[in-house]
Amino acid sequence: MWRRSMEKYSLVKVIGEGSFGRAVLVRCKSSQEKYVVKEIQLPKNQSKLENSRREAILLSRMKHPNIVAFREAFEADELLWIVMEYCSGGDLLQRIKQQKSNQFSVDNILKWFAEMCAGAKHIHDQRVLHRDLKSKNIFLTDNGTVKLGDFGSACILNSSKAYAHAYVGTPYYVAPEIWDNKPYNNKSDVWSLGCVLYELCTLRHPFQASSWKSLILKVCRGAYPPLPSHLPYELQYLVKQMFKTNPKDRPSLHTILTSHRVSKLLRTHLPSQGKSVYPAPRKQWSTEPSDTVLQVLANASLVSSDSVTSTGWTFTSSTHEGMVAAEFHFLKGAKISEDSRQRRRWERNPPERLLSLLEKAQLSKASSTFIINRGEDPLLGPLSHPQGDNTDGPEQELVIDEDRLQPRSDDEDTDFEEESQCDWMDEAEKIFLEH
């Protein structure tokens, strides 16, 4: 039944249903504008009730041209209605399916991806993780502008070095650190956007598999078919970086938009105000050698030297008087110090218990969103109570207000400490056994 609190709108049609409730298309009677209303059945449990309300709270604070706009929210008769912007262009998943075998143009890919990054960076700047970025949750307006939507799985963290540990997301888009039962931060959203970018480039998912075990192993090893060779090198390099299995090695969205190899291409597809927010990278040192060095080396002879070990060579200058003499030692076979060794790699294989659990599960579930929490301290949904580790130095206490929800000026590249007991698999086992 259409409640009195929604009398200003007329129902057009139901456009989707899910475990949360349903989504309907409505028309405002006064302006004739169309909107989408998310109708959520409110639980009777008080803590779950607060979690259901938090999506509306979070969405109301996300004001950005590349995020679905919040209009208003109502609550009555154990139902919550969230009224938001209607994106008439559908979602990216629909567009990808419509393409069939016709590839998107590079300009289209770069434009959409730049807008995705701009919207997701706005979220990260406010210490929010979306946790369910996928082509089905990315929408298009009638003029082709990208909008991020569906914040039902999002959570807010209490610091730039905080982390989350609940399993949240759609398996095909979940980062390896989550499968590996490790804490995670905004780099998990970067991985998910890498999956969407790959889909735009190839019209297929990067980690296709016939079983859960195969899917998880491919994700945890970062094993995906390479992009088509006709795509720009910068785009291929970016996908490779976004699919680094160690989250510390993945670029942040700030880096992608400002100082990555693909940044120049992306900035051309951002609106004028976006270009000022993401300025051109700093001037790089010249790659050309200086004239002085070239002059010195022009008359240099390569000779063996008693003063250098048998594994080295010396350049000696025989230039005219007054020229700066130069001697360059090139030690062949020199060993790299222990301090410069590569950082510890993340385990390449997911837990055996997880593979055993999913062995008989249907792979069709890999396209659905899951939220699996630990028995204690769960991160149930949007704007859940913050969780994380302590950071060095004093940090302002989190306050949910407009002043706090402003973009940070520094790069959001973050680090996090591992947690010894972050086991969501007990809950996962219950879910899969029930199905």
Here the CATH number for the domain that contains residue 68 is 3.30.200.20
From 77, 107, 125, 132, active-site residue: 132
Is residue 399 assigned to a domain? no
Total residues found in the chain within this entry = 435
Which residue ranges are tagged as binding site?
38
* Among 85, 116, 150, residue at a domain's last position: 85
Is residue 371 assigned to a domain? yes
Asked if residue 207 and residue 96 are part of one domain, the reply reads: yes
For residue 285, what is the DSSP state? P
Rounded CA gap, 415 and 373, in Å? 22
Asked if residue 366 and residue 264 are part of one domain, the reply reads: yes
What confidence score (pLDDT) does residue 96 get? Answer: 95
Among 148-162, 197-211, 340-354, the range of highest mean pLDDT: 197-211
- If one counts the domains in the chain, the total is 3
> CB within 8 A of 281, min separation 6: which ones?
258, 259, 263
Rounded CA gap, 382 and 38, in Å? 15
Asked if residue 171 and residue 31 are part of one domain, the reply reads: no
Is residue 398 assigned to a domain? no
Is residue 397 assigned to a domain? no
pLDDT bracket for residue 308 (50, 70, 90): very low
Asked if residue 328 and residue 349 are part of one domain, the reply reads: no
* Among 36, 55, 85, residue at a domain's last position: 85
Neighbours of 211 (CB within 10 A): 15
Domain ranges, residue 19: 4-85
Asked if residue 107 and residue 220 are part of one domain, the reply reads: yes
pLDDT bracket for residue 50 (50, 70, 90): confident
- pLDDT of residue 298 exceeding 70: no
Is residue 25 assigned to a domain? yes
Asked if residue 266 and residue 194 are part of one domain, the reply reads: yes
Rounded CA gap, 197 and 253, in Å? 13
Asked if residue 271 and residue 190 are part of one domain, the reply reads: yes
Q: Is 339 a catalytic residue?
A: no
What mean pLDDT value characterizes the chain? 72
Share of the chain above pLDDT 70, in %: 58
> CB within 8 A of 17, min separation 6: which ones?
23
Asked if residue 164 and residue 45 are part of one domain, the reply reads: no
Asked if residue 192 and residue 62 are part of one domain, the reply reads: no
269: domain CATH number?
A: 1.10.510.10
The contacts found for 41-47 with CB under 8 angstroms, 24 or more apart, are: 41/78, 41/79, 42/75, 42/78, 42/79, 42/80, 44/78, 47/380
Which residue ranges are tagged as binding site for ATP?
38
Is residue 340 assigned to a domain? no
The predicted-structure confidence for 251-280, as pLDDT tens digits, reads as follows 999 999 987 778 888 877 777 655 555 555
Asked if residue 57 and residue 17 are part of one domain, the reply reads: yes
Asked if residue 265 and residue 308 are part of one domain, the reply reads: no
Average pLDDT (110-130) is 93
Q: Please, where are the H alpha helices in 126-186?
A: 176-179
The predicted-structure confidence for 158-173, as pLDDT tens digits, reads as follows 655 566 667 677 889 9
What confidence score (pLDDT) does residue 49 get? Answer: 76
Is residue 273 assigned to a domain? yes
Is residue 217 assigned to a domain? yes
What confidence score (pLDDT) does residue 277 get? Answer: 53
Asked if residue 170 and residue 221 are part of one domain, the reply reads: yes
* Among 20, 55, 85, residue at a domain's last position: 85
